[in-house]
Amino acid sequence: MSVWQRLTDRQPHWLAGVVVLILLAGIGIWHWRATRPVELRIGLFAGSNWNVPEGDSYAVVDEAIQHFEATHPGVKVTYGSGIKKEDYSEWLAEQLLGGTEPDVFVIPGEDFNLYAGMGALTDLTAMAHQDRDFDWSVYYPAALAYGSYEGHSYGLPVGSVPTLMFVNKTLLAREGIPVPSNDWTWDDMLSICRQVTKDQDGDGVLDQFGVYDYGWRQAAVANGVKLFSDDGKTSYFADQRMEEVVRFMLDLHDVQRGHEVTAKDFDMGRVAFRPFTFAEYRTYKPYPWRIKKYSSFEWDCIRMPAGPSGRKCIDLADDAPGHQCPHRIIRSWPGNCSGRSAMHRKASRSC
162-316: CATH topology: D-Maltodextrin-Binding Protein; domain 2 (3.40.190)
Position 38 scores a pLDDT of: 83
Position 276 scores a pLDDT of: 84
- CATH 3.40.190.10 range(s) for the chain read 37-158+323-350, 162-316
Q: Which of 165, 195, 206 is nearest to 302 (CA)?
A: 165
> What would the DSSP string read from start to end of 191-254?
HHHHHH-B-SSSSSS--BEEESS--HHHHHHHTT---B-TTSS-B-TTSHHHHHHHHHHHHHHH
Q: How many CB atoms lie within 10 A of CB 311?
A: 10
Are 48 and 279 contacting, i.e. CB atoms less than 8 angstroms apart? Answer: yes
Q: What distance in Å separates the CA atoms of residue 265 and residue 232, rounded to the nearest whole number?
A: 38
Are 115 and 155 contacting, i.e. CB atoms less than 8 angstroms apart? Answer: no
> What would the DSSP string read from start to end of 76-138?
EEEE----BHHHHHHHHHHHHHHT---SEE---HHHHHHHHHTT-S---HHHHHH-TT--GGG
Position 12 scores a pLDDT of: 55
Q: ∠ at Cα 94 (92, 99), nearest 5°?
A: 95
Element containing residue 30 per DSSP (H, E): helix 3-35
Q: Residue 47 region, left (φ>0) first, then alpha (ψ -120 to 50), else beta?
A: left
Q: What is the CA radius of gyration of the chain?
A: 29
- Pairing assessment for the beta strands 104-105 and 38-43 based on DSSP bridges: parallel
37-158+323-350: CATH topology: D-Maltodextrin-Binding Protein; domain 2 (3.40.190)
Q: What is the pTM of this model?
A: 0.66
Position 36 scores a pLDDT of: 62
Position 349 scores a pLDDT of: 38
Position 285 scores a pLDDT of: 62
| Greatest C-alpha distance within the chain | 123
Q: What distance in Å separates the CA atoms of residue 109 and residue 134, rounded to the nearest whole number?
A: 24
| Residues of the chain with confidence (pLDDT) below 50 | 3-4, 7, 14, 30-32, 287-292, 314-324, 337-351
Q: What distance in Å separates the CA atoms of residue 336 and residue 351, rounded to the nearest whole number?
A: 23
Q: Which of 146, 140, 175, 179 is nearest to 273 (CA)?
A: 179
HSE on the CB side for 151, CA within 13 Å?
3
DSSP letter, residue 320:
-
